[in-house]
Amino acid sequence: VDPSILRWAKNLISFNVGNNSFSGPIHSSICRSSPFLRVLDFSLNQFSGRMFDGIGVCFKLQIFRAGFNFLSGRLPNDVYRVRTLKEISVSNNRFSGPINGTIVLLSGLRVLELHVNDLSGGLPTDIGLLSILEQLQLHTNSLSGILPPSLMDCTNLTTLLLRNNLFRRQLSSLDFCKLQRLQTTDLGNNSLVGRIPDSLCLCRSVTSVRLAINGLVGEIPPCMTSLRSLTATNNLSNIVGALKTLSNCDNLKVLSM
């Protein structure tokens, strides 16, 4: 997309070229032409190459989408300086490198979708500062390190998808009771150990729990039967007494052993 087409569109507030067959690089100079943009959507195209600083010039940007392309390199650092951002969705690309710790300054962020890339490093230790975050999708990357306890301070989370990474932690040390809006959680295929925490039973809205391919031991907490909305759980081969405990989950539809 040639940014010169916007040189007379200084007051443009939405630029959406999603779901086309555009290719080549994304020119970050778009924001210099149209600094008042609130929506930038490049998703579902064939854009490729690195993205460079310049997005931050869109000082009112609320939604940035570039998922399902062939973008590579690191996310431009100035994306994390746009304090008005509510959504960053750049999944299904080839982005690499760590998640910039300054992302926690985006206090209005509600959706963070970085899944299916090649990101590495750990979660920011103070990720809980994203207190109104609703969707955190980081699955299928190469992220590692200990899951920070402040993750449980993201109290508005409805979706927590971290599967297919290298995260580690004693799972029972996380206090899930703060996540009262949580509906779907998938922590499968990591290096989590210990027991399933009783605090997970206090997530009354949860409908799907997936913890497969970890190092969990012990029994499923009997209190799991109190999750009347639970419809899916999986891979419980290393958890004893699973069938007996889950027999009272009346809405359970998927059980993979």
Q: Tell me the C-alpha distance between 24 and 46, whole Å.
A: 7
Domain spans of the chain, in order of start: 3-216
Residues 6+ positions from 5 with CB-CB distance below 8 Å = none
Residue 48's pLDDT is what?
97
Confidence of residue 217 (pLDDT cuts 50, 70, 90): confident
Q: Which residues, 6+ apart, have CB-to-CB distance to 226 below 8 Å?
A: 201
Q: Name residue 167's beta-bridge partners.
A: 145
Q: How far apart are CA 170 and CA 174, in angstroms?
A: 8
Q: What angle do CA 155, 145, 65 make, to 5 degrees?
A: 60
Q: Per-residue pLDDT tens for 143-177?
A: 999 999 999 999 999 999 999 999 999 999 999 99
How many C-beta atoms lie closer than 10 Å to residue 11's C-beta?
Answer: 9
- Residues 25 and 2: their CA atoms lie apart, in Å, by 9
CA angle, residues 1, 108, 177, in degrees to nearest 5: 130
Q: Position 94: which residue type?
A: R
Query: For residue 132, what are its two tokens?
Result: 């109104």
Residue-level pLDDT at 257? 42
The model's pTM is: 0.91
- d(C-alpha 41, C-alpha 43), whole Å: 6
- 3-216: CATH topology is 3.80.10
